[in-house]
């Protein structure tokens, strides 16, 4: 699954269709930090065609050995300056912020401000190896990617052969796709968390849709949902197109 995900993102890079912000997590390894770092490195190697041993002018990593990021540190200053310049060689600049569990409240607010007006041609990747709790306003702006280690390709093929209801039953059993009405009602009453549904929906799109036209239609529905969220549309009107699409696949 992870190899196919890298392929999809590489294609989106070349077609200039990457999102501005990704959160990358891994829950199937004894060393999720290593798995995520290796996965990101392999993705960037695919994109750049370079082994990256000497680094790259359009790629910046932010990390710290401390327990928490210090806002006045050189690392944070690099973050603030790096995103303001156009890429030199690639279609995008890539800023990778490692270890979400080390984000302080002040740092999180600075990141949120950055995401509210995302820099042009800059992709921000936040690694969250331990599944740490993040500000809802940060998580809601991200596409969450779950990467795994040593996943057989047969698993990906099996997932793609399932329809939406089968896939959700296998991977998100807490989301019951009994009917459009029941899903919308669960979202309205809070029985089903909106953020959980969106996370599941995004993962379903990335991992399961092989038909290019169908995938594009679903992505357009997701973009419309994000636009409506900005104008505080009702839960029913925002979620209905997304929920309906799951019952058509």
Does one domain contain both 158 and 144? no
Per-residue pLDDT at 173: 83
Residue after which a domain boundary falls, among 150, 171, 195: 150
How far apart are alpha carbons 203 and 110 in whole angstroms?
27
- pLDDT score recorded for residue 216: 59
Looking at residue 154, its pLDDT comes to: 33
Task: Tell me: do 229 and 126 sit in the same domain.
Answer: no
Tell me, yes or no, whether 30 and 142 share the same domain: yes
pLDDT (0 to 100) of residue 229: 60
Do 165 and 132 lie in one domain? The reply is: no
Neighbours of 126 (CB within 10 A): 24
Residue 227's pLDDT is: 65
> Do 119 and 194 reside in the same domain of the chain?
no
Q: Specify whether the CB–CB gap between 214 and 249 falls below 8 A.
A: yes
- Is the domain of 138 the same as that of 127? yes
Domain span holding position 186: 152-249
Do 35 and 146 belong together in one domain? yes
Q: Do 121 and 182 sit in the same domain of this protein?
A: no
Are residues 103 and 127 both part of a single domain?
yes
What integer pLDDT is reported at residue 167 of this predicted model? 76
126: its two tokens: 């936040």
CATH of the domain at 113: 3.40.50.300
The model scores a pTM over 0.95: no
pLDDT of 245 reads 79
Choose the final residue of a domain: 133, 150, 167.
Answer: 150
Residues 56 and 23 in one domain: yes
Per-residue pLDDT, 174: 84
Is the separation of the CB atoms in 119 and 87 below 8 Å? no
149 burial class (0-12, 13-18, 19+ CB within 10 angstroms)?
middle
Is residue 198 a contact partner of residue 239, using CB atoms and an 8 Å limit? no
Mean pLDDT, each 10-residue run in order, the chain (249 residues)? 74 90 84 91 90 87 85 69 88 94 88 87 94 88 82 38 71 84 89 85 67 59 65 78 78
Phi, psi of 203 (to 5 degrees): -65, -35
Of 129, 150, 171, which marks where a domain is finished? 150
Q: Considering only CA atoms, which of 162, 147, 136, 171 is closest in space to residue 29?
A: 147
Cβ proximity of 218 and 209 under 8 Å? yes
141 and 156 share a domain?
A: no
**Domains of the chain: total:** 2
Give percent helix, percent strand, percent coil of the chain, each to the nearest 5.
50, 10, 40
Amino acid 166: pLDDT: 78
| pLDDT at residue 58 in the model | 93
pLDDT of 59: 94
Same domain? For 248 and 164 the reply is yes
């Amino acid at each position: 699954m992870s190899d196919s995900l890298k392929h999809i993102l590489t294609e989106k890079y070349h077609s200039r269709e990457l999102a501005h912000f990704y959160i990358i997590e891994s829950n199937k390894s004894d060393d999720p930090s290593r798995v995520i770092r290796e996965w990101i490195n392999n993705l960037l190697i695919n994109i750049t065609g370079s082994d990256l041993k000497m680094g790259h002018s359009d790629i910046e990593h932010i990390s710290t050995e401390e327990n928490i990021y210090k806002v006045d540190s050189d690392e944070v200053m690099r973050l603030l300056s790096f995103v303001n310049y156009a890429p030199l060689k690639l279609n995008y600049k890539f800023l990778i912020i490692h270890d979400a569990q080390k984000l302080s409240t002040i740092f999180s607010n600075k990141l949120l401000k950055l995401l509210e007006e995302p820099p042009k041609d800059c992709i921000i990747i936040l690694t969250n190896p331990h599944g740490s709790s993040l500000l809802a306003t940060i998580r809601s702006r991200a596409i969450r990617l779950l990467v795994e280690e040593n996943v057989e390709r047969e698993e990906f093929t099996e997932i793609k052969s399932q329809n939406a209801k089968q896939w959700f039953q296998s991977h998100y059993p807490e989301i019951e796709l009994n009917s459009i009405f029941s899903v919308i009602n669960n979202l309205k009453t809070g029985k089903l968390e909106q953020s959980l549904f969106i996370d599941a929906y995004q993962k379903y799109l990335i991992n399961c849709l092989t038909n290019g036209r169908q995938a594009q239609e679903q992505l357009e529905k997701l973009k419309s949902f994000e636009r409506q969220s900005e104008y505080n549309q009702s839960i029913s009107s925002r979620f209905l197109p997304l929920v309906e699409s799951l019952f058509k696949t």
